[in-house]
C-alpha cells in the first residue's frame, strides 16, 4: 500500500485547521498511520526543503516552517501521493481550485498551510526523515472493504 508524508505547516496549526485538514483525508478513505505535533529544528527544515536551497525564497521558507509547531503525518492508501496533492491544491493558494485545502483556506504562497510529498521517491525519503519505524502504526481499518473493492 502506498504511503505519503503530509505536514500541516505552522499557519495551519495556528489557525486551528488541524482537525479540518485531517478530516478531509479521513473522509476520503485514506488511513492515518503516523501523527505528531512538533517543533521543527532549522536543520530538519533545511533537510526537508534541500531541493530548494538555492532559491531566493529559501531563507523565508525555513523561517516559516520553524516559526511554530507543525503536524507531521504519514497517510496510507492506493494512489495517496498524487491524490493528496490534488486535495491540497496548487502551490499558490490564489491559483488553487476552491474545494482544495489551499484554495479554501489560503491566500499567499508563503502561508500555504500544508506540505505533501510529490512522488514515490520523495515520499519514502521524507517519511524516513520525519518518522522512526516504531512511530508508524500499521493497521487495517475495518471499513477497508467499503473503500476498496
Assess 104 for contact with ligand RTP (CB under 6 A). Answer: no
Cβ 18 to ligand RTP shortest distance, Å: 17
Give the position of cell 492515518. 32
For ligand RTP, the closer CB: 3 or 115: 115
Give the position of cell 474545494. 99
29 DSSP 8-state letter = T
- Residue of 110, 124, 129, 141 that binds ligand RTP (CB under 6 A): 110
Q: Which helix (H) or strand (E) holds 147?
A: helix 144-147
CA distances 131 to 93, 125, 137, Å, are 28, 10, 11
**51 CB-contact burial (10 Å; exposed 0-12 / middle 13-18 / buried 19+):** exposed
For ligand RTP, the closer CB: 20 or 118: 118
- Residue of 14, 50, 57, 139 that binds ligand RTP (CB under 6 A): 57
Q: Annotated active-site positions, please?
A: 115
Residues making up the annotated binding site for ATP are 9, 57, 85, 91, 102, 112
Query: What residues make contact with ligand RTP under the rule CB under 6 A?
Result: 52, 57, 61, 91, 109-110, 112, 115-116, 118
Amino acid at each position: 500500500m502506498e504511503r505519503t508524508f503530509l505536514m500541516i505547516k505552522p499557519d495551519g496549526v495556528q489557525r486551528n485547521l488541524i482537525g479540518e485538514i485531517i478530516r478531509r483525508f479521513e473522509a476520503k478513505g485514506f488511513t492515518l498511520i503516523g501523527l505528531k505535533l512538533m517543533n521543527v529544528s532549522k536543520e530538519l527544515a533545511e533537510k526537508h526543503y534541500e531541493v530548494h536551497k538555492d532559491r531566493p525564497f529559501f531563507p523565508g521558507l525555513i523561517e516559516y516552517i520553524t516559526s511554530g509547531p507543525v503536524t507531521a503525518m504519514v497517510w496510507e492508501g492506493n494512489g495517496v501521493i498524487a491524490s493528496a496533492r490534488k486535495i491540497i491544491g496548487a502551490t499558490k493558494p490564489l491559483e488553487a481550485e476552491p474545494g482544495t485545502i489551499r484554495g479554501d483556506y489560503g491566500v499567499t504562497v508563503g502561508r500555504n498551510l500544508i506540505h505533501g510529498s510529490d512522488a514515490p521517491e520523495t515520499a519514502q525519503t521524507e517519511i524516513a526523515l520525519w518518522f522512526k519505524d516504531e512511530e508508524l502504526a500499521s493497521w487495517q481499518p475495518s471499513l477497508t472493504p467499503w473503500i476498496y473493492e
